[in-house]
Amino acid sequence: MSTERAIVHMDLDTFFVSCERLLDNRLIGKPVLIGGTSDRGVVAACSYETRMFGVHSAMPMRMAKQLCPEAIILRGNSGTYTKFSKMVTDIVKENVPLYEKTSIDEFYIDLTGMDTFFGSHQLASELRQNIIKNTGLPISFGLSINKTVSKIATGEAKPNNEIKIDKGLEKPFLSPLSVKKIPMVGEVTYRTLCDLGIKKIKTVQEMPLEMMAKVLGKNGIAIWRKSQGIDPSPVLQYQERKSISTERTFEKDTTDVVKLEGIIAAMTENLTYQLRRGNKLTACVTFKIRYSDFQTYTLQKKIPYSAADHKIIPLVKELYKKLYQRRLLVRLIGVKFSHLVEGGHQIDLFDDHEKTINLTQAMDKMRERYGDRAVMRAVGMQAKSISRGNPFNGEPPPLLAHRRR
């Protein structure tokens, strides 16, 4: 059996935008921005059509609108993205021996040894076509002997394509690319390297390891190794996350108690729905509040395993009332569920009523068909008018790993 590593990096192209285009084909070919719709919001994802104007993720929405005034701006729907991501994950899980899910739209797959039976490149190509056929989502991949080269190769393969880098060709492949392509080279490190006249990976490849270590310390050593195509890090078996959370930052700091309680109810209701859809239960609830002076406080409470709105919403409000100081303006509030386990809602024979159970199931069916915000409690309607940004505002979509596109 071959001992040569075969590592695939797969990445769904402009994932949030692609999901929205599947739901509305009028968006195909149009410049699309997804994220906070107010001027204080940020871009969570953008289509290729907007990038030619200089737009990128994490950019303030106000700036993005100035650069690309014709862009169609969507708030986005975390439930939709969660659903599509799960579809892709299920296909990957069924077809490969070992995979690592590093974000909502990104996977590493270890196909080492598969050449003996099938062919790593052929298997990866067929898996990609399987995903495209069954989900309608564009996806790209890179295949090489390690994670770093494969991830960079995926970037070069986009949009909606694939690249294989044969063993021994890692350095020639990397050589002409920008050092910014190397994972772990952020803006600060990139500027430092540019100040030294280092803009291409080729320059790093030709530098002595000692010099990189002197300039950037341990990071310099890691960057030098990656530039040589050296990366022994393993693909780690994917594990479900153990918590989900959501935060809301107000467009204007507030002391409006009615609105605060409304948005708390809406946030909690959304998270409990995500629990039920993911067949999860939580045993710990945490509430977070940040005031206008940026002082931040959290309080948590352990509870019997549950995913029921009518049980958890009162608990979150109880934590809020313990933390809230009425004389201070509130900037941000957040809710987190942790200690998650597999399992459906356990009916409490003493507290649950058939009417409550039927109502919850009916609401969930409506959300599943028409989206997360298709139906909500009246008290939660206040939430829509005072929050900004992505509904998960810096947090990963529930039950999935994190990546800001």
Tell whether 319 is covered by a domain: yes
Whether residue 112 is found in the same domain as residue 201: no
**Token pair 């909690």 in the structure block, residue:** 268
Is residue 40, in this structure, part of any structural domain at all? Answer: yes
| Distance separating the N- and C-terminal Cα atoms of the chain | 38
**Residues 76 and 37 occupy one common structural domain:** yes
Q: Is residue 393 part of a domain?
A: no
Paired strand residues for 42: 60
Q: Which residues contact 84 (CB under 8 A, 6 or more apart)?
A: 15, 19, 22, 135, 137
Shared-domain flag, residues 184 and 209 = yes
Q: What is the CATH number of the domain that holds 292?
A: 3.30.1490.100
- Shared domain check, 7 and 80: yes
Same domain flag for 312 and 374:
yes
Strand ranges of the sheet holding 139-144, from the earlier edge strand across to the other edge: 99-103, 106-110, 7-12, 139-144, 162-164
Alpha-carbon Rg for the chain, nearest whole angstrom, is 23
Is 141 inside any structural domain?
A: yes
pLDDT at 360: 59
Question: Would the pLDDT of 345 be above 50?
Answer: no
Is 404 within the bounds of a domain?
Answer: no
What pLDDT score was predicted for residue 77?
80
pLDDT at 377: 54
Instruction: Give bridge partners of residue 300 from the DSSP assignment.
Output: 286
Q: Is 206 exposed, middle or buried (0-12, 13-18, 19+ CB in 10 A)?
A: exposed
The DSSP string of 245-310 is EEEEEEEEEE--HHHHHHHHHHHHHHHHHHHHHTTEEEEEEEEEEEETT--EEEEEEEEEEE--HH
Tell me if the bond preceding 396 is cis, omega within 30° of 0: no
CB distance 388 to 38 below 8 Å: yes
Specify which of 43-57, 228-242, 387-401 reaches the highest per-range mean pLDDT: 43-57
| pLDDT tens, position by position, 162-204 | 999 999 999 999 999 999 999 989 888 999 999 989 999 999 9
* Residue 114 clears pLDDT 90, i.e. is over it: no
Residue ending a domain, among 167, 183, 204, is: 167
Rounded mean pLDDT, 75-83: 82
Q: Summarize pLDDT for 216-232 with one digit per residue, the tens.
A: 999 999 999 999 999 99
Whole-number Å distance between alpha carbons of 247 and 147: 32
pTM for this prediction: 0.67
Cβ count near 361 (within 10 Å): 12
Residues 103 and 219 in one domain: no
CATH number of the structural domain spanning residue 72? 3.30.70.270
Q: What is the mean pLDDT of residues 370-378?
A: 55
Q: Same domain for 223 and 269?
A: no
Q: Which of 167, 199, 216 is the last residue of a domain?
A: 167
Residue 134 covered by a domain: yes
Amino acid at 78: S
Range of the domain at 209: 171-227
pLDDT band at 87 (very low <50, low <70, confident <90, very high): very high
Residue 232's Cα: distance from chain center in Å?
25
Q: What is the pLDDT of residues 287-339, one digit of tens each?
A: 999 999 889 999 999 988 888 888 899 999 999 999 998 788 999 999 999 98
Q: What is the CATH number of the domain that holds 197?
A: 1.10.150.20
Determine, yes or no, domain membership for 234: no
**Average pLDDT score, the chain:** 84
Length of the chain: 405
d(CA 12, CA 27): 18
Confidence of residue 352 (pLDDT cuts 50, 70, 90): very low
Domain final residue, candidates 167, 186, 203 = 167
pLDDT band at 359 (very low <50, low <70, confident <90, very high): low
**What is the greatest pairwise CA distance in the chain?**
72
Spot the catalytic one: 20, 106, 162, 170: 106
Residue in the block written with tokens 């945490």: 286
Q: Which residues contact 367 (CB under 8 A, 6 or more apart)?
A: 79, 273, 373, 374, 375
Distance CA(12)–CA(2), nearest Å, equals 29
In the residue annotation, 106 being an active-site residue is answered as yes
Angle formed by the axes of helices 257-277 and 354-370, nearest 10°: 80
Residues 273 and 342 in one domain: yes
Residues 206 and 293 in one domain: no
Spatial CB neighbours of 50, under 8 Å, sequence gap ≥ 6: 31, 32, 33, 64, 67, 68, 71
Do both 161 and 188 map to the same domain?
Answer: no
Residue 251 shares a structural domain with residue 215: no
SS3 state at 322: helix
Please tell me the total count of domains within the chain: 3
Tell me, yes or no, whether 403 lies in a domain.
Answer: no
Q: Over the stretch 268-286, which tens digit does the pLDDT of each residue have? A: 988 998 888 877 888 899 9
Q: Are residues 144 and 198 in the same domain?
A: no
177 burial class (0-12, 13-18, 19+ CB within 10 angstroms)? middle
Could you tell me which of 313, 307, 310 has the C-alpha nearest to residue 356?
A: 310
35: β partners: 43
User: What pLDDT score does 297 carry?
Assistant: 93
